[in-house]
């Protein structure tokens, strides 16, 4: 595999990592239809934990079968497939080496009233299953945020020592944040920066809105305003990820129409984001419709900025 100059540049940003971790990052970055561009589209399927099976898969019953999800990611030419332990185990042998996998190490569920997640897998599981990376969610602002960060520190240290990459879902939520604040510009940028500070190689956050939520930050944003358009907001989040020296991808969120998704993707691309991590908006569609949408998203990221 001949690395492109862009991928070599990205790998140079991770100065402390061993050859194994850099090789796994390169594997993700060089995979699929966007391979070598520095852009990524990843399929995440942890929603069964988060929302329950029917809410996740009833719109497209084929997706109840984890093998379907592997096949969707492979046929679409995506960079990686992220899922909890059981889903990766269900296709690990059949699809070994076919696409880089990210083992999602913790999850919440809709039967819990706490803003926390349980650790559901181990680094040894990731190695046994041939994964390229581990994935872990933190909830900045949760009552349990520090315990989550400490769990991540231990798992990330073990994963990096074993040559795996680390992907961090950084989703602000907790008693001091309402729904507007969870995706506010200042909070999204703060969450992305936290993920970079705890050592993430790839950072996943939600698309930021124009709101500024934290009282302590309002005077700063008034003095140093971010232009009120989506592209500028994505640029600001990328800037918060060490001036763009950490990979950041944005979630697709709740189900919406193709044009709304593509409008969002165009803004991410123009704002310097490294790509999309697209779950429900892909696997809840029929395979034909999902492949068409993912192909259109990939075409956007292939377009010169």
Q: Which residues are catalytic?
A: 204
**Farthest CA pair distance, the chain:** 55
Nearest to 64 by CA among 52, 80, 79, 50: 52
Rounded to whole angstroms, the Cα distance separating 209 from 230 reads: 8
């Amino acid at each position: 595999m001949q690395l492109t100059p862009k991928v070599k540049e990205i790998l140079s940003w991770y100065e402390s990592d061993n050859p194994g971790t850099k090789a796994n990052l390169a594997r993700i970055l060089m995979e699929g239809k966007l391979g070598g561009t520095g852009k990524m589209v990843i399929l995440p399927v942890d929603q069964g934990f988060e929302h329950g099976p029917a809410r996740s898969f009833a719109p497209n019953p084929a997706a109840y079968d984890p093998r379907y999800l592997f096949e969707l990611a492979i046929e679409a030419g995506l960079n990686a497939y992220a899922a909890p332990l059981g889903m990766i185990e269900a296709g690990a042998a059949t699809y070994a080496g076919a696409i880089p996998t990210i083992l999602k190490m913790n999850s919440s569920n809709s039967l819990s009233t706490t803003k926390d997640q349980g650790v559901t897998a181990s680094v040894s599981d990731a190695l046994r299953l041939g994964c390229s990376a581990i994935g872990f969610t933190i909830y900045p602002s949760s009552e349990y945020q520090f315990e989550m960060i400490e769990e991540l520190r231990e798992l990330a240290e073990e994963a990096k020592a074993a040559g795996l990459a680390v992907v961090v879902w950084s989703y602000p939520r907790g008693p001091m944040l309402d729904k507007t604040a969870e995706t506010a510009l200042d909070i999204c940028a703060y969450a992305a920066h936290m993920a970079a500070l705890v050592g993430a190689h790839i950072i996943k956050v939600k698309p930021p809105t124009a709101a500024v939520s934290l009282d302590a930050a309002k005077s700063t944003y008034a003095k140093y305003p971010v232009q009120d358009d989506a592209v500028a907001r994505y640029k600001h989040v990328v800037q918060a990820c060490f001036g763009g020296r950490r990979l950041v991808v944005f979630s697709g969120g709740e189900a919406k129409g193709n044009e709304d998704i593509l409008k969002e993707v165009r803004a991410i691309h123009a704002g310097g984001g490294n790509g999309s991590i697209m779950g429900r908006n892909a696997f809840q569609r029929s395979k034909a419709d999902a492949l068409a949408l993912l192909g259109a998203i990939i075409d956007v990221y292939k377009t010169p900025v």
